[in-house]
Structure 1
Amino acid sequence: MIINKIDLKIKNTSYPNHVAIIMDGNRRWAKRKKIWQFLGHREGANTVKKIINYALYYKLKVLTLYAFSSENWKRSVDEIQFLMNLFTKILNNETINFKNKNICLKIIGNISKFNANLQKSIIKAENFTKNNNGLILNIAVNYGGRWDIISGIKKIAVKIKKGLLNPKTINEYNFSKYLCLNNVVPVDLVIRTGGELRISNFLIWQIAYSELYFTNILWPDFNKQNFKDALEEFSKRKRRFGGNN
């Protein structure tokens, strides 16, 4: 596949390596279409497949997708069941495609709350693609940024208690090793669809210096041109990381 970066009008130095997306707007999309609300999630899943292909096309190193937050358990039992079934189906159907496309799939979040069947599908999919060295695809499910930080603190506390870690040596760099996304390049760009202007407890430690891009486009309608627009906007940003340059 020939990659055409000219159409992006961006320099290699400003090209994002890691893009994270808050996929918002499935239910509103269905409401506008006057169809069953849950079908918005199904259409959103189809958009996920397309976005993964766009990430491959634009040679991203890492793509992280916020699929199900730890707060989403507040939704109706029927909707949660639909989402869990949909996620299981996607894992079972798409894992072979991930393998063939050299995608390494990683699930981040607390999966212990999921049923045994879904947990089994997650572990199987991760193991099946773990040796792939192309795009790293992180899917955040039952994930919350606060949970991530607290979980990291607990891991550190255990090591300190066992005498394996000196608390005086802890800094922001080695603390990051105990969080999700500890072994990938930093998040360069966060995209949120659906028009909301917030990060909703997503990667609150990891996106300290990420560029934020908000769009009114609902997730099921988010297409290649919209993705390209976000990448081009990123290329125009001047990233200082707290410095002057």
Structure 2
Amino acid sequence: MKYKLAIFDMDGTILNTLDDLADSMNHCLRAHDLPERPLQEIRMFLGNGIHWLVECSVPEGTDAETLEKVYQMFLVYYKDHCAIKTRAYEGIPQVLQSLRRAGVLTAVVSNKADYAVKILCGDYFDGLLDFSVGELEGRRRKPYPDSVNAVLEKFRIAKEDAVYIGDSEVDFQTAQNAGLDVIMVGWGFRDEAFLKECGASLVIHDPAKILELIGVPEA
């Protein structure tokens, strides 16, 4: 096998979380008498963490106090509404099962709040991941390589033995900053043309291709 460790992004890569994120964001905007955002706008705001999502979603010129209130409400509301419409992308659980059977370690590194990462990994991928981590206080989020490096250190895996799999420009930059090979997926929150403009040379559209690129036979 080409790699010993596969590190996945979460939103747009292994889980389609868009509807729950958009519903939660618009609930918090409505609660503060702010205009809602259409789904496709919110789609493009994702990838840089919750605070960035809120910053992009509130109207330009929103005062800092209101922005912070919307952010704090989102943290509470999304915790209870993060698994209503969210679904695993078709084929992803089978890919994770095949990787595990082949002895490849699996991990998730996300800019989503760590509590939500833990909830969703347990709900949708119980027993299929060796480790998961989201945004944590005191640790720089992606595209900084800090969380990726922490996973490498945890498993004592060299960079050349790991691959990062994601769906956005943030994931591509994260892999570059961490010195990892990258597999970009085209079923998530960014389309192939956008990803190639960002520098991605390969964008896949079938989860089974992950197994092929890693060198694991399909089940």
TM-score by length of structure 2 reads 0.37
Structure with bigger gyration radius: 1
TM-score by length of structure 1 reads 0.34
